[in-house]
Amino acid sequence: MSKKEGKSLSTRIFYNYKYSIKQRITSTYALIYLITLLLILVVFCITYANYICADLPARTENIASAINAQINKDSDIRSNNFIYYLTSLKSDIIHEIFISDKSGNLIATTSTNEEEKNEYSKRPNLIYALIPETALITNNYYVDTYNDEARQLKYYIYYDISDRHDSYAGMVRLLSFAFIVGFVIFIFAGFSHTNNVLKPIDDITAVAKKINGENLSLRISEQSTKSELNELAGTINDMMDRIQASYEKQKRFVSDVSHELRTPISVISGYGSMLKRWGKSDEVILDESIDAIINEADNMKDLVEKLLFLTRHDNKTLSFSRDITDISKLCEEIVKSAAMVKTDFIITSNIAKGITAVVDETRIRQVFRILIDNAEKYSRDKKQIDINLYQSDVSFFFSVKDCGIGISKENLEKIFDRFYRADESRTKDAGGYGLGLSIARIIVRGHHGSITVKSKEGEGSIFTIQIPLNYTPDNMY
């Protein structure tokens, strides 16, 4: 393998570890497991070393007492008699005895081996300072020391612990082997368990990859997930429900706009063709065509303005110019104007005097007109509209009652949707685009108010809006 290929492999391994949740989880727990095993092994070694040599320090005290007693009898510790005495203390367990002065110079010993004579000088080291009991075990010997402060002497006693050391080493090897096997099993079990735990995430990923514009109805199975992953799956499904609803709404919106624009465009195109053929010589056709084109252009303008209003609302750029407004006077003007235009209707009103509120007058006027126009459009045999304006301590209420076709219960929640008409066959002659109530609700909510409707099929409807008298936030949001 080339150097470049080797580098590429190491890079892939690094990125796999860095971005793979499975590998990171397993590696983390494997590292914790390994550190725990090492600590257990170290603690075991120290504890077991203390255990197998627990009786030797007491033996050292006895031997040191016997040596001190002999020194009291024979003050020359370099004499042959003293060396002979030291040698007599040797046994199956006592291997050698060394005596040095405070400077570390060897004074007396039972050993004739030069290497063993130098061994005692190697005892003070870092390991001995940290864990002296374990450090004392070396080459199948347990080396214990005794300090005679009165004579400034130090005794080194080598105990032969071959049998004990073999037992100790066997236990360490057995425990080490068990830990290694356990570690390997843990790695494989860890990867397997991690795969099982994270499998729902793989399932979620697989389903998410299949979702597209043509397959928005696909959902993640919440039964195959557990705990937090079940909550995640539910959250994603809820999000997809909202996205699908928004997507369907957008498709329906585009379809409705196209449908609404097709009629006036067709009318304009038709009258344009008629003008081209006969309009120059026939004044009747000319006047009819011009009136129709102007009328359809006005309808298109009205539709575009409403669509721009809805777009500004969706983009959160719609704002209101609030000011103190005489609501009673505004309502009277609207009622008077409606009575003049709708001469075939009986319009009754009950308008409380002196109602003022901080509102956008133009927008509230628009709401009043939308509700009155709706009452007129959907009235049939009994052409009567009742208008009421009253107030409470904090709000004013405006209601419009008609005696029209009414709205079924299943359609009540949908009448505020854009381009929605409860019954096309019964409302096709009413005109409009099905945007009025949607715009009215946006304006009312923009003033932190509410709009409600009560209706019964065949008897009519009552629309009521409630708007605070003095609510003045910076904008509708």
Residues 354-411 have pLDDT tens digits of 999 999 998 999 899 889 988 888 887 788 899 999 999 999 999 999 988 888 888 8
Quote the pTM value. Answer: 0.52
Q: What is the DSSP string of 113-178?
A: -HHHHHHGGG--SHHHHH-HHHHTEETTEEEEEEEETTTTEEEEEEEE-HHHHHHHHHHHHHHHHH
In a domain, 107, yes or no: yes
117 in the same domain as 18:
no
Q: What is the CATH number of the domain that holds 283?
A: 1.10.287.130
Q: Domains in the chain: how many in total?
A: 4
Q: What is the DSSP string of 391-427?
A: E-SSEEEEEEEE-SS---HHHHTTTTSTT--S-HHHH
Say how far apart CA 405 and CA 389 lie, in whole Å: 24
125 in the same domain as 20:
no
288 in the same domain as 394:
no
Q: What is the CATH number of the domain that holds 432?
A: 3.30.565.10
pLDDT band at 203 (very low <50, low <70, confident <90, very high): confident
46 in the same domain as 72:
no
352's tokens: 């409380």
444 in the same domain as 338:
yes
Residues 255-284 have a mean pLDDT of 74
pLDDT at 429 over 70: no
In a domain, 218, yes or no: no
250 in the same domain as 307:
yes
328 in the same domain as 264:
no
Say how far apart CA 435 and CA 319 lie, in whole Å: 19
pLDDT at 70 over 90: no
Size of the chain, expressed as the number of residues it contains = 477
pLDDT at site 2:
46
Q: What is the pLDDT of residues 112-144, one digit of tens each?
A: 665 655 554 444 443 344 444 444 555 667 777
Say how far apart CA 252 and CA 261 lie, in whole Å: 14
- DSSP 8-state code for residue 93: S
Torsion angles phi and psi, residue 460, rounded to 5:
120, -175
In a domain, 235, yes or no: no
Q: Which residue has the higher pLDDT, 431 or 50?
A: 50
What are the beta bridge partners of residue 36?
A: none
Q: What is the domain range of residue 334?
A: 323-468
458 in the same domain as 397:
yes
